[in-house]
Chains A and B, each alone.
Chain A
């Protein structure tokens, strides 16, 4: 069902990945969260991962980020195995998680400081602050930012390390509907200018169709990729075009949410 294409260009390769956690009610029983996940991302691709909550989307992202270790399977980034967190795989959460004790500028340059390269790459800080339109807020503290601005700062903070893959865990989930649509364009703009490979976890079907090259649909217990849909609509996409709505109802049907249509 899932076609794994191991091309030279694939920047991330996931093969038969398994992960289980001890059950909360009985620590002796291990519950399988991911039951053999396989897929690959081509360089510069934007792929969405959708599915009901509890299907292991976030766990998968944490495994790729290196924050958890898998039970079985392969995780390769440009054919190097993933063992620990690393600046080459950026992660943006639903909560921007900006460090409240640092100004916006210092938050954005945190990755450079952490890798000890701030001195050589000082000019990039300004570049990335311009990229997300936060120059004016350079010296503001995070709690002065609106939700959208804070998330833009978090994106800049992750992108400044030039990650090979940017992992996005429902990054726009906490924003209101209008801000979210604006931020979808913002993320697309960043993706098109930086050509960063992105893996976007979302539970917003419209967002997945609007943004991604491919959509992977996951089902829970244990989490599997049930179906992969290539989205061939031309960009910029119209949220109310016939093709868009047809694709949307396909996905809803597949997830048994269509109702009596």
Chain B
């Protein structure tokens, strides 16, 4: 560490570049530290387990050095590194804490809390099954989500636009909507012959409620003067609904889509752990049954990556669709 500090101070450059050097070095230094720490802690562990974990950090160090060299050629890469490196460093240090707490001092009861190296081992050993489970979860999630969004948009637009539909629809929405979709599981399992079909329907139901609610409120709160202007420009009902009310409601609709996505994750995992015989939720409870908690954690990590990727994609879609809001509001 000290040697590296010297390296920094010998750089004949302005403070900004010193800061950049420190940022660049943070990731490899943290990785080297984690590596050393693990080697020290894992003296008595099976060598195979420690091996892949150590390999991971060697790879991190190698990639960080390669990127540090490449950064001269790409300003985009520089910006990305400047933004992400502190976070990556923190993540590596968090792994160290986990390592120390579990493997090092055994502060958490085994087998429920394996160390990071054991989890990595499960992740690698069981990759085929994990990949397969992820695929099944994705198919189920998307089919339920898309179905729920379509239904929610249609009912939301109808409730938001038409007074009679609002009068009859709102009570149903208010009574049925707040019931968590998972509470319907006993009925859904009876009604549908296939657990997959009934789970997709439950996810759709979970998504349908927030999407309907937010769409309806967005549509009915369309500024009256936009509609007045459109009418005096010669707009008919189709134009008023599809070119005025829906665009005006889109910011609200996206809030509904985000809320629905959160609800769909929850419903997916619950449905998979009680009925469906595949997917990440099923994998977690199956691994738990065999007391293989390394696999449980591995599946949780996959879930985190999987769900946050889908969430990011929805954010990207929103940024694209609501580009006109840039400069009006802060997201």
Chain A residues packing against B (C-beta within 8 Å): 62, 65-67, 85-87, 89-91, 93, 95, 97, 99-102, 110-111, 113-115, 141, 143-144, 157-158, 161, 167
The reply to whether B234 and A101 contact each other, CB–CB distance below 8 Å, is no
Contacts of A87 in B (CB 8 A): 232-234
Supply 10 further A-B pairs (C-beta < 8 A) apart from A65-B232, A113-B243, A115-B233.
A86-B234, A87-B232, A89-B232, A91-B232, A93-B229, A97-B225, A100-B325, A110-B230, A157-B233, A158-B233
The reply to whether B231 and A85 contact each other, CB–CB distance below 8 Å, is yes
Known: A101-B248, A101-B324, A141-B324. A158 touches B232 (CB 8 A): yes
Q: Which of the four size classes fits the interface of chain B?
A: 20 to 34
Contacts of A67 in B (CB 8 A): 228, 231-232
Contacts of B236 in A (CB 8 A): 114
Among B225, B232, B233, B248, chain A packs the most CB atoms within 10 A around the CB of: B232
Docked Cα-Cα span, A161 to B235, in Å, equals 12
Task: Out of A95, A102, A114, A141, name the residue touching B235 (CB < 8 Å).
Answer: A114
The reply to whether A100 and B232 contact each other, CB–CB distance below 8 Å, is no
Docked Cα-Cα span, A87 to B233, in Å, equals 5
The reply to whether A144 and B327 contact each other, CB–CB distance below 8 Å, is yes
Docked Cα-Cα span, A248 to B163, in Å, equals 49
The reply to whether A90 and B247 contact each other, CB–CB distance below 8 Å, is no
Pair count A-B, CB < 8 A = 71
Docked Cα-Cα span, A141 to B322, in Å, equals 12
Contacts of B248 in A (CB 8 A): 99, 101
Docked Cα-Cα span, A111 to B230, in Å, equals 8
Docked Cα-Cα span, A143 to B329, in Å, equals 11
The reply to whether A114 and B226 contact each other, CB–CB distance below 8 Å, is no
- B244 lies within 8 A of chain A by Cβ: yes
Contacts of A110 in B (CB 8 A): 230, 233, 243
Docked Cα-Cα span, A99 to B229, in Å, equals 9
Docked Cα-Cα span, A17 to B247, in Å, equals 37
Residue of A nearest to B229 (CB): A97
Of all A-B residue pairs in the complex, the 6 with the closest CB atoms, nearest first, are A87-B234, A85-B231, A111-B233, A114-B235, A91-B232, A101-B247
Docked Cα-Cα span, A175 to B239, in Å, equals 30
Task: Out of A90, A100, A114, name the residue touching B239 (CB < 8 Å).
Answer: A114
Contacts of A89 in B (CB 8 A): 232
Residue of B nearest to A98 (CB): B229
Residue of A nearest to B231 (CB): A85
